[in-house]
Structure 1
Amino acid sequence: MTAVAIQLARLVRVSHTIFSVPFALAAAAVAWVDHPLSWPQALLILGCLTTARTAAMAYNRVSDAALDAKNPRTQSREIPKGAVSMKAAWALTITSGLGFLAFAVALSPLCGALSLVALPLALGYSKAKRFTWLCHFWLGLVLALAPIGAWVAITGSFDAFPLVLGAGVVCWIGGFDITYGLADLEFDRKEGLHSFPVRWGPQVTIATSRVLHVLAPLLFLAAGLVAGRGMAYVAGVVACAIALLAGQIATARGAKGDAVLTANGWAALLFGVAAVVDVFVVGGGI
């Protein structure tokens, strides 16, 4: 891998795919029960996930470049420090966005049509904090599109399972992204940016995060019940809830910024693995 490719991978934080891919895999596995998936479909879905996320992250870095250069926490990011040029970041955004649209059209006409809604939503998140403190939940909605999109790509329709699972993702992402925002509270206030912590303050932010991280695993469980999944799936929900609890404990002890990401990454990974195991290894049902 060339030095440029390494810097671009760092720009879009490839490691952060842990926050979307496990839920897409969970939805795909459950959909597979009644709709066997071909390898071409699987590769196209993977292509959609990869390109959509890359386009959204690259545009986020382009959109926030000036702010990142001012913020002490983000001054070491690739664009502010000169490791990646704005031209390269724009090129990555555009090519990834076009790639996403192409993969979606190749999957089905329905996926192609929905991609015209999904891509603006994913890119629009980067501007949301300029005008609304609900930006964290916008991000949650964008990531919820991963399991919903995977389901639609495989089944050709919407169903209760991906929608309830997606609602859980919105609560989960919103719950940890509002605490992530605590790290930039003073900077956001100074720059006139909108965030949940700026609007409501640290105490309400932490309390709201706790409520959302109770709701998230409950919604994951409800999705499993709707789909008739087995005990391995339930075990994954329990493991996810424990990881979220660990994240809340870390936050209560003062963890901020990137420090809150680890537990939430484990929450997604444990749930996703358990959901796939439930379908392909255990094959059980509730």
Structure 2
Amino acid sequence: MRKFKIILEMIKFEHTVFALPFAFLGAVLSSLLISGNWPTVHHWIWITLAMVGARSAAMSLNRVIDANIDKKNPRTAARAIPAGLLSRLETGLFIFVSFLLLFFAAYQLNMLAVYLLPIAVFFLVIYSYTKRFTYLCHIVLGITIGIAPLGGWVGATGTLTWEAMLLFVGVAFWTAGFDVIYATQDAEYDRDVGLHSIPSRFGISNALWIAKVFHLVSFVAMLALFFATPLGLIFLLGVLIAGGIMMYEHSLVSPSDLSKVNVAFFTMNGIISIVMLIFTIGDLLL
């Protein structure tokens, strides 16, 4: 149990709040648009377990792959593997079990979820390597997290429509934007050791502007979803609130003051995902 607690801390299990609400949003929206019904208890359970498996596997892989990098970075040297609290073998076992959970959950949902699973696994694995060769690693992370609402959409109905792609774009660029903000903490270190990121490539000031552009694209995609579906004014209000939170998020950080990066990264974005889910369900109910 002590090791398991260390693993949960290592993978920042609480950060599941970023993607899980959007997976639920995809499931709810696709069910009501396509079948006119709400997702069943079966759908809720297996979509949740698939998400837990996917994120646990991805984050654990990231920690194993980046262990040597983390050990040399003062900000990350205390993480479980470089600090000797967990071995690579123990983490590898957890990764294996997490992938098994993801595969089994997809099989319990429908065959389209199973057929598309290799694409999801590819991005779950490749993301951790991208910072070694491209500053577009933030986009790759965005695609990886953007698969969450697509997974919910496919898992609930066994379909994939162009409306789902609008949701995917919205989540992908939202994620890429806040990941750029988070990466400003390591801009100098990444530049010194040859790792790639938008802050290390373009500087912190330009990176924060790029993050704003990413979030603008995300906002426009969510707004387009309002016009492309029967979603009403309550959903629109949720989109506007999310847009306002993103603006506030950017007000918390500046090139000369990155002390509130963690607030901007975790607190604000956790609120955004929950707001979008609540206002979508509220709209569909009322």
Q: Shorter-chain TM-score: which interval?
A: over 0.9
Contact between 1:25 and 1:276, CA under 8 Å: does it hold in 2?
Answer: no
Match of 1:55 in 2: 57
1:258 paired residue number: 262
Instruction: Find the aligned partners of 2:171 and 2:57 in 1 and give their Cα distance.
Output: 20
**Partners of 1:226 and 1:237 in 2: how far apart?**
14
Q: Match for residue 30 of structure 1?
A: 29
TM-score by length of 2: 0.93
Q: Which runs of 5+ in 2 are unaligned?
A: none
Matched to 1:4, the amino acid is K
Q: How many residues align?
A: 280
Which residue, 110, 126, 129 being the options, matches 2:128? 126
Equivalences for 1:1-286 in 2 at 5 Å? 2-33=1-32, 34-35=34-35, 36=37, 37-252=39-254, 254-255=257-258, 257-261=261-265, 262-280=267-285, 282=286
Question: Between the two proteins, what is the percent identity of the paired residues?
Answer: 30
Per mean C-alpha deviation after superposition, the further-off stretch among 184-193 and 257-266 is 257-266
Q: For 1:131, what is the secondary structure of its paired residue?
A: coil
Cα distance in 1 for partners of 2:133, 2:174 equals 22
Shift of 1:82: 2.2
Per-residue deviation, 1:105: 2.1
What stretches of structure 1 of length at least 5 have no aligned partner?
none
CA-to-partner distance for each residue in 1:25-80, whole Å, 9 max, x for gaps? 11112122143322222211111111001100000011111111111111121222
| Aligned counterparts of 2:75 and 2:235: Cα–Cα separation in 1 | 38
In the alignment, residue 121 of structure 1 is paired with which amino acid?
F
CA distance in 1, matches of 2:146, 2:226: 16
User: Retained in 2: the 8 A contact 1:101–1:116?
Assistant: no
Instruction: Kindly provide the amino acid, as one letter, of the partner of residue 29 in structure 2.
Output: V
Question: Which digits, 9 at most, give the CA deviation of each residue in 1:221-261, with x for residues without a partner?
Answer: 21122111011111111111111111100112623652431
Q: Return the alpha-carbon distance in structure 1 between the equivalents of residues 63 and 230 of structure 2.
A: 41
1:183-211 CA-to-partner distances (Å, cap 9, x unmatched) read 10111112111111122222221111112
Quick check: 46-55 or 21-30, which moved more? 21-30
Bigger drift between 32-41 and 98-107 goes to 32-41
- In structure 2, how many angstroms separate the alpha carbons of the residues matched to 1:117 and 1:25? 20
So what's the TM-score if we normalise by structure 1?
Answer: 0.93
CA distance in structure 2 between the aligned counterparts of 1:260 and 1:123, rounded to whole angstroms: 26
**Aligned-residue CA RMSD in angstroms?**
1.5
One-letter amino acid of the structure 2 residue matched with residue 263 of structure 1: M
Residue aligned with 2:252, SS? helix
Deviations 1:140-176 (A, max 9, x none): 0001101011111222211122210110111111111
Tell me, yes or no, if the aligned pair for 1:233 and 1:275 is still in contact at 8 Å: yes
